[in-house]
A and B are shown apart, each in its own frame.
Chain A
């Protein structure tokens, strides 16, 4: 079952605010992947890694 438009929309808004648009794309793909059928642990771990890699690490503020 496809992910609801409202879910996508709200997720997009939150990710955009956090400057995490790559994460948003990976997250939606992961949600759709889960909705397609039952997934094995290995499959989910693979997606989890992709999701982590898509996270934009925030650099600490340069206070100097």
Chain B
């Protein structure tokens, strides 16, 4: 790629209007150009606008409108400023136009040229884009006043410049992009872990789950055995139950029969008991002896004529007689005594009782005695017999009930209880198997492992954790790969930098020998700044100049860039200007110097002499009273702009009396006379 600046045109922008055309012949720009601008002529603004056109970085304009706009009190103030840069890429000319609206603070960018013709945007040729990056353009559209920073030990400008020119910073960019890639990868991963502790944690989880799976499998086997055993037991118990049931049926029938008999006996005993109790109501019936005593009692009563002769009424009847039973006359006194004593004898009520007794003895007891048998004794015998038989019956029943039990002594109830117990074991086993076999959806990574009973859930979790582990391992592997690549990038970067520095230092020292002939200056190293053996400021700046030009020359290889320097000679000082000028003239690329007052002496003549005929020289100055003599008596070739004038040619430049250029002119005269600095 060959990039050359053909010229620029500026109107309405801070400083002076200018129309710089560097074309010499056949649409080709001059290899070297010296443009002299007076102080306040817009040298720095022009420098910045050229960079803005090449890079499309408009931030400096957008942030500093006042630097680009003329002051409103300026008679040439305009609302709009236009800057036009004409540049060729591999000999195809493009025109970049910036239209700055100072009122609306807007910028329009237009591109003219190449295959796309006119465009209302920044459209350089694609192949040139890599050369138009700001960081790179900053090096070849260079502010000479910044050359000091290259040798300033407190600045890292030299390092940055070195790395930019040789694109070593791309290694850093690649390294950064690897980190960004890894960061994104981690974020997009299910689990953003890559450290060992997390891997151990996941491994432990997997191990715990595998352990749980084994324990569940063991338990499953146990349950299968238990179920098999329970099933067999249930069958056995069912059969046993059925058998016990059949044998017991007969016994039960007998039991029922005997239970019926038992009831009859109990009933009979009850009746007999009641009968005996009834006998106690008629004691003569219990024993003949008692009956005989009753008849003996009655006989005695009859023999004593009781109650007839012992009744009260006897005495009452007696007193009615004339004589007492003792044959004594029944006197009144006697009567009274007898009646009074009659009270001591039984009355008719007691008599009635005794008579009733006598009658009852006669009726019941004497009649009873006529009966041969004794009902009480027979009843007692019968009762005793019944009781004995009941006892025997109950013993038989007990035996039968015992017979209902199995040989082992278990009842049907026992067997049923055992069967239920086995069925319960089977049900528990079935539940375990069901839980073991089905997917438990509620299980997740946080579920305590020892509470999980579902095998599919365990398998799914293991799979999930293993997937995470794979991601984690993959991330870890990636991280290791990235670290290895980064280490390799550092090696490549450092080795390249070392090789380039060696070459650069050698070439710089070679040039220094040629340029600084009065002193043996050597570049020692290029780190943050350029370490050299020069003592003066001028020598330091020569070093910095040589550094930039040599580095660019080494970097461009098959490429050519313009080297446009704002104030190239001012920082160097007069002593080394001639040699620097000679160096510049011999550089392969286009060189454009934006000069200011004081830079002509010891610089321009050498540059001009060594660049002829491929050099453009332009002097630009403001239309103001100081330059009245040039305006009133215009030199040959004077070109008028709205607020400025311009003259082409080396002779005019060297004679031009600019503001504060008295010393400069003296130096020029001295130089022209062939005197030394």
Q: Mark A3-21, 1 if CB is under 8 A from B, else 0.
A: 1111100110111001010
Would you call B481 and A48 a contact (CB within 8 A)?
no
Q: Are A52 and B181 in contact (CB under 8 A)?
A: yes
Which residues does chain B contribute within 8 Å of A34, judged by CB atoms? 167, 170, 173-174
Find chain A residues with CB under 8 A from B650 CB: none
Residues of chain A lying within 8 A (CB to CB) of residue B79: none
Closest to B555 in A: A4
Interface set, chain A 1-60, CB cutoff 8 A to B: 1-7, 10-11, 13-15, 18, 20, 23, 27, 30-31, 34-38, 41, 44-45, 47-49, 51-52, 55, 57
The reply to whether B180 and A37 form a contact with Cβ atoms under 8 Å apart is no
Partner of A7, one of B129, B166, B485, B503: B166
Kindly list the 7 A-B residue pairs having the minimum CB-CB distance in the complex, ordered from nearest.
Answer: A44-B177, A48-B181, A37-B129, A48-B177, A11-B492, A36-B130, A34-B170
Q: Are A4 and B177 touching (Cβ within 8 A)?
A: no
Besides A1-B167, A4-B167, A31-B174, 13 other CB < 8 A contacts?
A1-B559, A4-B557, A11-B496, A20-B488, A30-B174, A36-B129, A45-B180, A47-B174, A48-B177, A48-B181, A49-B181, A51-B485, A52-B181
Q: A44-B177, A48-B177 are in contact. Are A18 and B166 (CB under 8 A)?
A: no
B130–A1 touching, CB < 8 Å:
yes
Contact present for B184 and A45 (CB under 8 Å) = yes
Judge whether A6 and B181 touch: CB under 8 Å: no
How far, in whole Å, are A48 and B478 apart by their CA atoms in the complex? 12
Bound complex: CA A15 to CA B482 (Å): 15
| Contacting residues, chain B, for A48 (C-beta < 8 A) | 174, 177-178, 180-181
In the assembled complex, the CB of B383 is this many whole angstroms from the nearest CB of chain A, namely 107
Q: Say how far A42's CB is from chain B's closest CB, in angstroms.
A: 10
- Name the A residues within 8 Å of B171 (CB-CB): 31
Interface size band for B:
35 or more
- On chain A, the residues within 8 Å of B492 by CB distance are 7, 10-11, 14-15, 27
Chain A residue nearest to B179 (CB atoms) is A48
B170 touches A52 (CB 8 A): no
Given the complex, which residues of A lie within 8 Å of B489, measured CB to CB? 27
* Residue among A35, A45, A48 with most chain B CB within 10 A: A48
User: Residue-by-residue, is B161-189 near A (CB-CB < 8 Å gives 1, otherwise 0)?
Assistant: 00000111011011001101100100000
Contact partner of B167 (CB less than 8 A), chosen from A3, A13, A23, A57, is: A3
Q: Could you tell me the distance in whole angstroms from the C-beta of A34 to the nearest C-beta in chain B?
A: 5
A31 and B167 contact, CB distance less than 8 A: yes
Given the complex, which residues of B lie within 8 Å of A49, measured CB to CB? 181
Q: Closest residue to A13 on the B side, CB-wise?
A: B495
- Most chain B CB within 10 A, of A1, A31, A49, A57, is at A1
Q: Does B500 contact A (CB under 8 A)?
A: yes
A to B contact number (C-beta, < 8 Å): 97
Give the chain A neighbours of B481 by CB distance below 8 A.
52, 55, 57
Compute how far the CA of A14 lies from the CA of B488 in the bound complex, rounded to whole angstroms: 8
B526: min CB distance to chain A, Å: 15
Residue positions of A touching B, CB distance < 8 A: 1-7, 10-11, 13-15, 18, 20, 23, 27, 30-31, 34-38, 41, 44-45, 47-49, 51-52, 55, 57
For the complex, give the distance between the alpha carbons of A2 and B1 in Å: 10
Indicate if B136 sits at the interface (CB-CB under 8 A): yes
Say yes or no: is B131 at the interface (Cβ < 8 Å to chain A): yes
B264 within 8 A of A: no
Least CB distance, B479 to chain A, in whole angstroms: 10
* Inter-subunit contact B496/A6 (CB<8 Å): yes
B130, B485, B491: which contacts A35 (Cβ < 8 A)? B130
Interchain CB contact under 8 A, A37 and B181: no
In contact, B136 and A1 (Cβ under 8 angstroms): yes
Residues on A with beta carbons closer than 8 Å to the beta carbon of B477? 57
With A5-B557, A51-B174 as known contacts, state yes or no: A41 contacts B484, CB within 8 Å.
no
CB proximity of B481 to chain A, nearest CB, Å: 5
Judged by a CB distance under 8 angstroms, whether B343 is at the interface is no
Q: Is the beta-carbon distance between B499 and A6 smaller than 8 angstroms?
A: yes
How many angstroms between the C-alpha atoms of A38 and B122 in the bound complex? 14
Q: Please report which residues of chain B, range 532-562, place their CB below 8 angstroms from some CB of chain A when the two chains form the complex.
A: 555, 557-559
Question: In the complex, what's the smallest C-beta–C-beta distance from A26 to chain B, in angstroms?
Answer: 10
A55 touches B133 (CB 8 A): no
Distance from A7 Cβ to chain B, minimum over Cβ atoms (Å): 5
Measured between C-beta atoms, what is the minimum distance from B137 to chain A in Å?
Answer: 11
Report whether B166 and A41 are in contact in the complex, using a CB–CB cutoff of 8 Å.
no
Please report the C-alpha to C-alpha distance between residue A11 and residue B168 in the assembled complex, in whole angstroms. 12
Determine the distance from Cα of A10 to Cα of B168 in the docked complex, in whole angstroms: 12
A37 to B500, CA, bound (A): 23
If the complex has contacts A23-B488, A57-B477, are A51 and B178 also in contact, measured as CB distance less than 8 A? yes
**A31 near B170 (CB under 8 angstroms)?**
yes
- Assembly CA distance A27 to B490 (angstroms): 13
Residues of B129-171 whose CB lies within 8 A of A: 129-131, 133, 136, 166-168, 170-171
Compute how far the CA of A6 lies from the CA of B555 in the bound complex, rounded to whole angstroms: 10
Residue from A14, A35, A45 within 8 A of B495 (CB atoms): A14
The contact sample of 28 A-B pairs, CB cut-off 8 A, is: A1-B1, A1-B130, A1-B131, A3-B167, A4-B166, A4-B167, A4-B555, A6-B499, A6-B500, A7-B168, A7-B496, A10-B499, A15-B488, A18-B488, A23-B485, A27-B489, A27-B492, A31-B171, A31-B174, A34-B174, A45-B177, A48-B174, A48-B178, A51-B174, A52-B181, A52-B478, A52-B482, A55-B485
Q: Which residue of A lies closest to B170 (CB)?
A: A34
Q: Flag if A55 contacts B167 (CB, 8 Å).
A: no
CB distance from B59 to the nearest CB of A (A): 14
Q: Which residues of A contact B499 (CB under 8 A)?
A: 6, 10
Beyond A20-B488, A51-B485, A52-B181, whether A35 also contacts B173 by CB under 8 A is no
| Residues of B with C-beta under 8 A to A6 | 496, 499-500, 503
